[in-house]
Amino acid sequence: VSVVCWQRGFAERQDQDTRIMPPAAAAEGAGAPSGGSKLLLMVNGKEYAIPSGQIDPEMTLLQFLRSKGLTGTKLGCGEGGCGACTVTVSGYDIHVGKVVHKAVNACIAPLCAMDGCHVLTVEGIGQAHNKTMHPVQKRLADSHGSQCGYCTPGFVMSMYSLLRNKSEPSESDVEHAMDGNLCRCTGYRPILDSFKTFCCKGSESKVASEGAVPPYKDTPEIALPERLMPSSYKPESLVLAGTKSTWFRPTSLAEMLKIKEQYPTVKMVAGNSELEIERKFRGSSWQVLLCPSHITELNALEVRGDGVAFGSATTLTRVKNCMDELIRTMPASQTYNCKSITHQLQWFAGNQVRNVGSVGGNVANASPISDLNPVLMAVGAAMTIVKTDGTERSMPVRDFFKERMYRQTHLGTDELIKGFFVPFNVEGEISEAYKTSRRRDDDIAIVTGCLRVKLSKDMLVESAGIAYGGMAASTVNAKKTEAFLTGKKWTKETIQEGLKVLADDLPLEAGAPGGMIEYRRTLCSAFFYKFFHFVTAQVNPSAVPPEEASCAVPYNRPCSSGLQHAKETNKDYMTDPIEGPFPVEGGVGTSVKHQSADIQCTGEAEYTDDIPTPTNGLHASMVLSTKAHARILSVDPSPALALPGVEAYIDHSDVQGEITHGAVILDEEVFYKDKVTCVGLPIGLIVAESQALARRAASMVKVTYEELPFITTIAQAIEKESYIGDAAKIECGDVGEAFRTPGIQVVEGEVNIGGQEHFYLETNATLVIPGEKDEIVVYTSSQNPTKTSNFVARACGVSKNRVVCRMKRMGGGFGGKETRTAFPAMCVAVAAQKLRRPVRINLDRDEDMCITGQRHPFISKYKVGYLPSGKILAVDVQLYSNGGMSLDLSRPVLERAIFHIENAYSVPNLRVVGRVCRTNLPSNTAFRGFGGPQGIVACEVYVDHVARQLGTTPDAIRELNMYGLYGAVTPYGQKLIDCHAQPMWQQVRESSEYAVRRAAVDSFNAGNKWVKRGLSMVPVKFGMSFTAKFMNQASALVHIYTDGTVLVSHGGTEMGQGLHTKMAQVAATELGCPLSQVHVSETATDKCANTLPTAASVGADLNGMAVKDACDQINARLLPLRTKSPKATLGELANAAFFERVDLSAHGFYKTPDIGFNFETQEGKPFHYFAYGVACSEVEVDVLTGDYTVLRTDICHDVGSSLNPAVDIGQVEGGFVQGQGLFTTEEMVWTPQGHLFTRGPSTYKIPSANDIPIDFRVSLFDGAPNRRTIFSSKGVGEPPLNLAIAVYSAIKDAVTAARRDNGQSGYFRLDTPATGERIRLACADPLLRQFSPTDVLANGSW
């Protein structure tokens, strides 16, 4: 994380310094610098002049923009980690003498720092309603690059900023410009493809020639307003006083030093990226803030004959650009240090943070995992420090930090960092930097390091610099190793001895903060070993053995690309009584874009948190439990209630209805009053005039507890027999007898399957408005409006017909908003009911992650019997899931895992028993796949085990045991009709050139020791339906107006999956009108009552049939008129029908036939049909670090006859990338006390745009209509996620090759997610054995 405060002791919250006057006095007191007292900025061309005293220096740019109604800029995380809040900040940079345009995270950018700037938001560059969309917005929308749309404005503004700085960017420029933006829906491919149309090499001209949009070069851009140009705007010293703090922005070094002298503990603010984190997570606040943005000396950048000098306030982007230019123009032998800096900055945070974060802030923060500090230390960089009296001193950066003391430096309280000097390399001197993190892009390091040596002509080490981060409480020099190397010959023997010294140099005791002890120590050795080969390759390439050469090559990811194949059916479904079938514009089978794509790309799409707060409205914040299991002894809200603006404290005593609730059984409470059973349960609610005040006040409520014993892991629950409900079981054949088959071979094993955070970009939000006669209107971001309204009615003690829940769109859901949105809504509704005022809540990212539950972690214990041929005869599995503190949906999740334990394979004798474990964690809940991924990966683990024992590939075992096309029966007795697994397997095998690539992978692995490749194919069979019979129903309401336009309401919710678009296409096709005449407004419980959640991938199946039913009723009424006027338009027919008194409205209904399974009798049919898919993935694994890259993925997925091929391909790609995160980077980490550690993008890593397959090929299986559903289609949301198991399996294949080189053969355990730590610890090489026994298991999330 970029850091912005430059004085010692930043990380620890400091007590109020008695020398600091109150803010107003600080601005006006004796000796205070004089200056401007008004903040001047412009937003989308509108000028704002805010006087001192009317501005809060703690206010962020995002808060300001949204207060002005510019809600296109979204709050996704509040810590600068997701990019949803990205805006373009333009201004005249006095230090470079030109106008600059920067992509900036508005959620952490101080409003006060915007003085003299022009801020452009997504609304400011183009609008859909007046047809002024910017080419970036238009191309993204037309390329299907927006699904839920919540992240879209941020992507638009990142690309817009890039184009303002470089009108013809390269594809690499585009991908790196997106490294600070996250998307949970699309899988990034369509976003990148749309933006790459702006690139040089003909893409831009091609787009223009095809007539899609005008060429970008013809697009007039918004110039910096004259008001902010140097001729009109002269920066002056700025003093802005608020109620709690004062902001100083001096314009000279002398003035800055004077402020520092007067206020020794002043906080320096440049990019604010670290300061805002401290404010958010630690409640820190500072009375005096000092911004160095206009100090010439601190922003200077000068290239000298022997190196580069730059001021401490110089931004990271500016330093990187300078270093890149030097690398391009200078001899390579002189720029190794420059390359080391750019190597680290390339992966340093995101583009938006680099644009504002400063070098001085990063250094002075003294983070022990800083990316930059090891480089500056190792390459011999120097720093200049200035005292408040103006005297200066210089010191090596390596001497700046107090060794092994957390965030402590030798910077005095009367000193500031003025600047740095990085030398060029001299003859024989080489340096290189390294970093390993959970995700390559925008992530803090696990271990980071830089190494430098100067060699004589006879290869003696004349000097060495070695520095590491992540190995102590500070960045440290490996002094013993440096001394050991000096004077020695640069040979492999020297390095082998040096590795031993290094291990002694950087000890890491068991239980050290950060964990991962073996992994971190191994990484230090890995960097050292890589550096030896890198230096040797630079000096004498022939001296590096070919099989070792791969570890000498720095990582370089090529740009990604994709291919998509799908046929548009565009069938003629509407039959004219005279003319016969005719095509429908935009009807079923055509690749029309998401109906909200345009307004999502322009920021006009409204989400729950964008709804303006009603007059007299209030904001709420929950008081949450902080203990895993405890009795509540007392609650004291008086400190919170004493704050001006706090309206009320709400708790259990205010609940007018029932206190209990639950998704299946009543095992939760609206507000907990006696005992809490996990961290994050609602004890009370603070209601206040502003969101910030409500959160501050909630943190002041005092709760005392008596702690009780608690359970957090599945293993603990099994040991203590802590379960929820009875066991679930499925059995077929005779498992016991099968294991006695002559010649049978048996393997047994266990695997831990980690959980996953939903990380929808829009956190849970609810607005409750009380009305007359107990009426309540609830606006909420929920997949389940009916359940939400029912729960609110129950809590408020009113009948269900008095509560209306409205939901226009969600910024992602993925199952996390199926049941867990209800309890915040109930809390807010109770407050609104009591106060008779509108109340709203919008959870912070960390709150949302901590309290709403995740995907269920599982343990699978298995025993498998098989023949020498590889044919599996018997499987016996025990599944245990971590349900958390309540049941929620854990039982049906477990049941679906059980239903998928054989995946796509025929197993004649199978027994699986599952239990839900009760633990003291927040209740886990639905997540895309709903137990299916856990069951399928458990299956693939035992298939892999069989293969490794037989010495063959898992792909061979898969192919041998796969279900056939016809006649197969599942272990639960359901016949498979049209099982396409085998033909799809063969199609992918051929299209992916599997056999050729298998040979190529084997050849590559034989010639490379430290980089291995893996290749794997995985099939998926996924059951489609809710497994609870009653949930397989839907309703719809269709109105035709007399102008021929159509309004459709249905029970499904729109969360980015294109459900509303598909339903509009169904209605258009059924009614025979253009899609442009059909509108779906919102989901509301007063339009369609008693609806079910949008989940299980059957939203289109159920609601589509209901829409069709309604249209069929209207068509039947219109048939006489159609017969009379066969060429009439729908508008003409509707107008005629009105005067004929024909009803133009209809309510449709559908229930899935012949469905339902009884676990007690083991009878029934749980699924309406199955969806199939096959994926082939090839990966490359760095054996020394555990890093991996997906080189290529080929997918063939079965969607029947697609309702909308473009939307379905987007679901396949997005689901796959989300699954890739589940099985690799997304690790949930809990403290032993039951607190979630991974509670934001800084610690929890979903895939970024640079994690997707470099070559990403997706096709929809052709010629397999599904006659049982709407227009022969199949659901698509969940099944593709499981295809990412191919990545996990390919990683295991690569690790198998590494282990083979080290004398290890056969099966090995690799839990999920397959993080870098787990991959590295499984490789069993000599460097690893120095610190760890073979096959040590990494601590995981489960």
Q: For tokens 């198991």, what's the residue?
A: 1285
Compute the distance between CA of residue 808 and CA of residue 780 in angstroms, rounded to an integer: 9
- CA 281 from chain centre, in angstroms, equals 19
Q: Locate all alpha helices (DSSP H) within 688-765, ordered by sequence.
A: 691-698, 714-719, 735-738
Burial 818-827 (b: 16+ CB within 10 A, else e): bbbbbbbbbb
**Residue ranges of E strands in 710-829:** 723-732, 745-753, 765-770, 776-780, 803-807
Q: For tokens 């949008």, what's the residue?
A: 1094
Q: Locate 1176 and state its tokens.
A: 């082939």
3-state secondary structure of 475: coil
Q: Locate all alpha helices (DSSP H) within 1017-1160, ordered by sequence.
A: 1059-1071, 1099-1124, 1130-1139
Q: Locate 132 and state its tokens.
A: 């002024």
Contact present, 1215 and 1280 (Cβ < 8 Å): yes
Compute the distance between CA of residue 205 and CA of residue 207 in angstroms, rounded to an integer: 5
Q: Locate 760 and state its tokens.
A: 């929808």
Contact present, 109 and 356 (Cβ < 8 Å): yes
3-state secondary structure of 114: helix
Contact present, 435 and 420 (Cβ < 8 Å): no
Q: Locate 781 and state its tokens.
A: 């971001």
Given the residues 1070, 1227, 1278, 1317, the one annotated as active site: 1278
Q: Locate 1145 and state its tokens.
A: 């409205």
805-to-485, 509, 787 alpha-carbon distances in Å: 70, 54, 9
As a residue count, the chain comes to: 1342
Compute the distance between CA of residue 1154 and CA of residue 1163 in angstroms, rounded to an integer: 12
Closest CA to 529 of 1300, 1183, 1187, 1292: 1183
Q: Describe the crossing of helices 1099-1124 and 1130-1139 by its angle, rounded to 10 degrees.
A: 70
Strand 723-732 and strand 909-918: the pairing is: antiparallel
The helix (run of H) or strand (run of E) holding residue 680 is none
Report the first-to-last Cα separation within the chain, whole angstroms.
27
- Phi/psi zone of residue 1017: left (φ > 0), alpha (ψ -120 to 50 degrees), beta? beta
Contact present, 83 and 154 (Cβ < 8 Å): yes
3-state secondary structure of 404: coil
Contact present, 395 and 385 (Cβ < 8 Å): yes
Compute the distance between CA of residue 784 and CA of residue 820 in angstroms, rounded to an integer: 10
Compute the distance between CA of residue 1320 and CA of residue 1334 in angstroms, rounded to an integer: 11
The amino acid that residue 325 corresponds to is E
Compute the distance between CA of residue 1224 and CA of residue 1215 in angstroms, rounded to an integer: 14
Reduced DSSP (H G I as helix, E B as strand, rest coil) percent helix, strand, coil of the chain, to 5 = 35, 25, 45
171-to-83, 194, 392 alpha-carbon distances in Å: 20, 11, 45
Q: In terms of C-beta density within 10 A (0-12 exposed, 13-18 middle, 19 or more buried), how is residue 664 classed?
A: middle
User: What DSSP string runs through 546-583?
Assistant: GGGGGGGSPP-PPPPEEEEE--------PEETTTEE--
3-state secondary structure of 537: helix
Q: In terms of C-beta density within 10 A (0-12 exposed, 13-18 middle, 19 or more buried), how is residue 652 classed?
A: middle
1278 is catalytic: yes
Provide the annotated active-site residues.
1278
